[in-house]
Amino acid sequence: MVMKRLAPALPLLVGILFMLPAYAQKFDGLASTPPMGWNSWNTFQTNINEQLVKDVADAIVASGMKDAGYTYIVLDDGWMAKERDSAGNLVPDPAKFPHGIKALAAYMHSKGLKFGLYNCAGTETCAGYPGTRGYEYQDARNYAAWDVDYLKFDWCYSTGINAKEAYTTMSKALRKAGRPILFSLCEWGGNKPWEWAAPVGHLWRTTGDITAIFDAEKKFTGYSQFGVLRIADMQKGLAAYAGPGHWNDPDMLEVGNGMSAAEDRSHFSIWCMLAAPLIAGNDLRHMSSATQAVLTNKALLAIDQDPLGAEGYKYTEVDSIQTWVRPLSSGAWAVCLVNRSSTPRKIGLDWTTVHATDSTGVGTFTLSPASQTYSLTDCWTSHVLGSTAQPLHTEVASHDVLVMKLTVR
């Protein structure tokens, strides 16, 4: 009798639940500006261990990177044992992490840092460790119990799996586990996550993996790795999808991993123009002063972390010089000139000819120095370069960059 009276209400209840997806998806308020931190993969791949990660945490504090905003320490692939336990739980590799993940997270938190882990939407991770497919809610409960703050979720061994469904399921699992965890979708852009992932995660990869070269592609069987400029070129048309709480991710930083000083500056500058997450991938324990200066440049970081959250875009490309523009808060703009060529380029820029209008994820903005005069500051040297009332005459070295902040006079 009771069941007969309740039965008609069940379809209504189910309908209400499906009308409330926000209650089951990502945590809000975790990425009002692009996340900043460090990830183990670019330098160490699976050769990671407890002491290494503690040493990196100590280095990020001692170097001033924590104070500059780099707060997430993320363990990438290779942190777990090759098999789940008898109850189906992920197990930290006992040789690499003898005190477990919760203790390591506590160490990070004691330093004022946040802690992240990696897994994969497929049946295995890219390096062949246990993937999450079929274990989403169980894994999410463990991440929450271990006090994890960030999850990078990859896309290997995913044949036959629907990307939107897989990432939405994991997002719901994290939400149900109850601990606010920043969710990074590492789907490589093949299923256009920018079109559907804003309610699901806080950032999503837009391309395949980066590698520490300036302008080339490394081809392997079934996949490629891309240089800095190749990835930058792939960001065309994506600015409309990013904004506070949901960011396009052109992959981790290769600053300090073997490119020239000029190329490191250009790489970092373009990522800041793109409002990209800034996840360092170098060995912070042995970082040069030049690398540290790039990663902690206050003017560039202020551009990346600008609270307006508008992503920049390429405005022009003439004679191997790319001009990128980005609207900033308080009516300011950032303008970035990148020399893609192998020789220096002289630049003569008549500001009165500049008229950039485009839509970003937070609105439509117009840069028109003919109708508004701006003061110019070189973001790498802090030198004042005059104003847009006069043409700009300068030279940019090969593979180098000039980044200017334009402030309303």
> Among all residues, which ones are annotated catalytic?
154, 209
Q: How far apart are CA 256 and CA 285, in angstroms?
A: 12
288: Cβ contacts below 8 Å, ≥ 6 apart: 256
Q: Supply angle C-alpha 211, 270, 309, rounded to 5.
A: 120
Residue type, 53: V
Per DSSP, which regions of 186-328 are E strands?
Answer: 203-205, 217-220, 223-226, 247-249, 278-280, 313-318, 321-327
Cβ distance 177 to 144 under 8 Å?
yes
Could you give the angle at the alpha carbon of 307 between the alpha carbons of 405 and 252, nearest 5°?
80
The angle at the Cα of 387, spanning 382 to 389, to the nearest 5 degrees, equals: 170
Among 244, 404, 237, smallest CA distance to 326 is for 404
Residue 349 is classified by DSSP as E
| The two structure tokens encoding residue 350 | 């008549």
Q: Are 251 and 41 in contact (CB under 8 A)?
A: no
Instruction: Compute the distance between CA of residue 57 and CA of residue 25 in angstroms, rounded to an integer.
Output: 30
Q: Which residues contact 214 (CB under 8 A, 6 or more apart)?
A: 227, 228, 229, 259, 260, 263, 266, 267, 399
| Count of beta carbons in the 10 Å neighbourhood of residue 244 | 18
Q: Is 261:293 a contact under the CB 8 Å cutoff?
A: no
Instruction: Look at the block and give the residue holding tokens 């004042």.
Output: 384
For tokens 């999410």, what's the residue? 140
